[in-house]
A and B are shown apart, each in its own frame.
Chain A
Amino acid sequence: MSKPLLTVSDLHVSFMSRWQHEPNVDVLRGVNLQVRRGERVALVGESGAGKSLLATSIIQLFESSAHILKGRVEFERQELTQLNSKQLRQIRGRRIGMIFQDPMTNLNPSLTIEQQLLQCILSHRNISRKEAHIVALHKLRQVHIPAPETRMQQYPHQLSAGQRQRATIAMALALEPALIIADEPTSALDVTMQAEVMRLLSHLCNNNGVALLIISHDLSLVAHASDRCLIMYAGQIVEQGPTKMLINDAQHPYTQGLIKALPNMSSPGQQLYQIPGQMPQLQELQQQCSFAKRCEHAEDICYRQAPLMAPHGTHQASCHILARPAELDPDTELTL
C-alpha cells in the first residue's frame, strides 16, 4: 500500500490558560490519523470534541493560545510541526486546501469573487494575471457555478449560500492541492444544497485524486460520502474504520449512541435514544476513559485507566469493555 499522504501521530494540543493558577487545557490528547492519496476520510463528533482544532492543528492555523505539546504531523514527507511560518504558507492553500463552515465569513465581503480567486492563485503561482483569470474561470466551471463570467465580477453577498460555498470550494481547488480539509462544509446550507455540495466534493476527489478530510457532526451526512470514518470524543479518536463497516457494526458505546440518536433510527412518535449527560470538562480527564461517565457499560477499570485503540470486529475501537466481550451480557448489547 502507498505511503499515506498525511500522517498525524500522537498529537497533543493544549490551550494555555490566561491565569497562572489555572492549568492548561489539553484539548487533543494523542490523536492518530492517516489520510492516503485520493481517500475521503470523515471525522465525526460532537461540538467541543476537538474536530476543528485537529483540522487547524494540521496546518497550524489555530489561535496563539493553542500550542502543540508533542506529536508529529507528516505531510508529503515533510514534518509540518517543525516548519516556520514562511514555509507553512507554502503548504497552506497550495498543498492543503481548506473549506470552512460558513462561506459568508470565509469570503472577504469587500472583494469580488475574481479578486479573491486571483489573490489566492497569484500569491502561490508565478503566472500572469490573464492566465490566472483563465484558471479561476475554469475552477468556477468545475464547481458548476452558473454563468461564471458574471459571478466572478460579483461580491459574495450577491451570491446565494450554495453558490458562495461552491466559490470557496473553487478557491480551495484553485492551486490543485493534494488534500482538502472541509470543516462542516454544509452546516450553513439547506438539505438540497447540502446534497449538492457533498456530491460535488466526492466527485472532485474522484476525478482529481484529491484527498478529502471532512469534518461533521452528522454521521448520516458522511455515511455515503467517505471511505473511512473516525469518531472523535473529548480530544481522542474512539473508533475508526471503513465507513460502511463502522456504521453497520459500530463497536464503541459512543458511536452506537450517536447512531441510535438519529431520528430516523426509531419509529415515529417513539422516544429517541439519547446519550446521557454531556461532554466532560477536559481538565478532569487524565487517567480514565473519557466516555466512562456517560457509558452504560462502564466498570471500575474505565475510571482507572485510559483504553487503547485495538482491533474489534471489522475495525478499531478504544474501549475496555470490548476487550472482554465474553463478560458483556448479550441482552444489554446494543443492536442496530
Chain B
Amino acid sequence: MRQTLVDISNLHKAYSAPHENSALWFRQQRSHINAIDGLDLAIYKGETLCVVGESGCGKSTLARLVMGIEQPDAGSIGYEGRAISHLSSKARQAYRQRMQIVFQDPYTALNPRLTVMHVLVEPVMYHHPQLDRSIAIEQALAQLAAVGIDPSLAQRFPHQLSGGQRQRVNIARALMVQPEFVVADEPLSALDVSIQAQILNLLAQLQQQKQLTYLIFSHNLAAVEHMADRVAVMYEGKICEIASREQIFNDPQHPYTQALMAASPQIHTPPNNNHKLVGDVPNRIPSRLGCSLQDRCPRAFEACRHQSPQLQEVVADHQVACHEINQGWR
C-alpha cells in the first residue's frame, strides 16, 4: 500500500500586486493574484512526482510553500499525517531537517563568499550544534564523493566551479542533513544538455541509495518523462491533470497537457501543430469565473465560461479537471 508522505489540500496563496493600469503609485489599487488557487496534491513515499507547467503557473510558489519558506493563506500541508503549514518556527525545526530543497539556479543558490566545504558543513552544524566539526567535515567529504565531485575541490569558491559542479554541490548540500524528502525547483534549466544527463543520473542514483522522495518542478518534458513516477500538470495555480508517467505521456487528456506535449521539441519527430494553444499566458484575472484555460483552449464551450472544473478520475489514478472530459463528451 502506498504511504502518503506529503498531503496538500485546498492550498491557497495570493500575492498583492499593483493594478495593471494604475500609473500613479499613490492612487494604486492593489489587486490580488492567486498564485496557488485551491491546489490538492498527495506525494507518496519513495516516489518521484514531477510537476510541470509554464512559468507563472505557481510552481516556485508551491515549492516555497511546501518547504515552509512562505506561509499559505488557506489550506494545509500535512507531513506524515501532521499539519505542518502553520507550525511555529521552533516546532518546524524538526521537519526542516527531513525535507530539503535544491534551487533552480546553481549560480545564485550558493553564497559566493563561502567555500564548498563551508557550504556543506553549515547545515550540519546548525541542526546538530553539539557535533564535533571534524565529523561534519568528514561527512561533507563523503557527500562530495557521493555526488561525483573530487574532494580536492572542497576549498574552492563557487565561482571556481563549472555549472554542473555547482549543481552537484547544491544537491550535496541538500543531502547533508540526511533528508527523506527533496524538493527540486527546476534543477536542470540552467544547465547544458550534456550536463543535464549527468544530474538526472545522479538524482536517480541518490534516490535508489537513500530511498528519497522527490518533488521535482520542471518544464523540460523529456527529462520528466525520463525520471518521473507520476506527473502533475499545473496551470494557473491549480493541478489540471495528474497521472502516472505512462498514462500522461501515452494518453494525455487535458487540452493543456496535450499542448505542452506537442510543444516539447523532439529530435526525431517534427513538431505537432494540432494541439496549439492560442495566445499567451494570461495575466491573472482575479475571481474570474470558469476554467482558467478558457481563453486559450481551442475546445472551450459554454460551461467553461461559468464554472471552474474539478479534478475527476477518468481511469484509476488518472485525474483530469476539464468539463469536456468530465461530462463525458469526449
Contact = CB atoms under 8 A, between A and B. Distances in A.
Interface of A: 46-47, 146, 158, 160-163, 190-196, 198-199, 217-221, 223-224, 247, 257-259, 261-266, 268-269, 271-275, 278
B293 to A, nearest CB: 12
Contact of B279 (A146, A258, A265): A146
Given A146-B280, A192-B277, A271 B267 contact: no
Contact of A192 (B193, B263, B267): B263
A145 to B, nearest CB: 9
Which among A146, A161, A190, A193 has the greatest number of chain B C-beta atoms within 10 A? A190
B226 A266 contact: yes
Contacts of B195: 46
A163 B219 CA distance: 19
B267 A259 contact: yes
Interface stretch (B152-160, B196-204, B303-311): B196-204
Contact of B219 (A191, A224, A262): A191
Nearest to A145: B280
A195 B271 contact: yes
Contacts of A266: 226
B265 interface: yes
A265 B262 CA distance: 17
Contacts of A162: 280-281
A263 B280 contact: no
A218 B280 contact: no
Contact of A278 (B162, B197, B228, B268): B162
A129 B315 CA distance: 61
Contact of A263 (B162, B197, B263): B197
A247 to B, nearest CB: 6
Contacts of B259: 192
Contacts of B280: 146, 160, 162-163, 193
B286 interface: no
A196 B196 CA distance: 24
Given A192-B259, A223-B265, A274-B198, A258 B281 contact: no
Contacts of A161: 55
B20 to A, nearest CB: 8
Contacts, number: 119
Interface string B266-291: 11101101000101110100000000
Interface of B: 20, 54-56, 162-164, 192-198, 200-201, 204, 219-223, 225-228, 245, 259-260, 262-268, 270-271, 273, 277, 279-281, 283
A88 B263 CA distance: 38
A275 B194 contact: yes
B196 A263 contact: yes
Contacts of A191: 54, 219-221, 260, 263-264
A158 B204 CA distance: 40
B260 A265 contact: no
Given A259-B267, A261-B197, A263-B200, A192 B54 contact: yes
A327 B198 CA distance: 30
A217 B192 contact: yes
B225 A274 contact: no
Given A272-B201, A278-B164, A261 B264 contact: no
B266 A264 contact: yes
B255 to A, nearest CB: 12
Given A224-B270, A264-B222, A195 B265 contact: yes
A218 B164 contact: no
B225 A220 contact: no
15 contacts: A46-B194, A162-B281, A192-B54, A192-B259, A192-B277, A194-B263, A194-B265, A198-B271, A199-B271, A219-B193, A220-B266, A220-B267, A223-B265, A263-B226, A268-B227
Given A224-B271, A274-B198, 19 more contacts: A190-B219, A191-B220, A191-B264, A192-B260, A193-B281, A195-B263, A195-B265, A220-B265, A223-B266, A258-B194, A262-B193, A263-B197, A263-B200, A263-B225, A264-B266, A265-B267, A272-B200, A273-B197, A274-B194
Given A146-B280, A223-B265, A272 B225 contact: no
A217 B226 CA distance: 19
Contacts of A265: 267
Given A224-B265, A259-B267, A262-B267, A268 B226 contact: yes
A218 B277 contact: no
Contact of A268 (B56, B219, B225, B271): B225
B222 A220 contact: yes
Contacts of B268: 223, 247
Given A160-B280, A161-B55, A223-B267, A263 B201 contact: no
A190 B245 contact: no
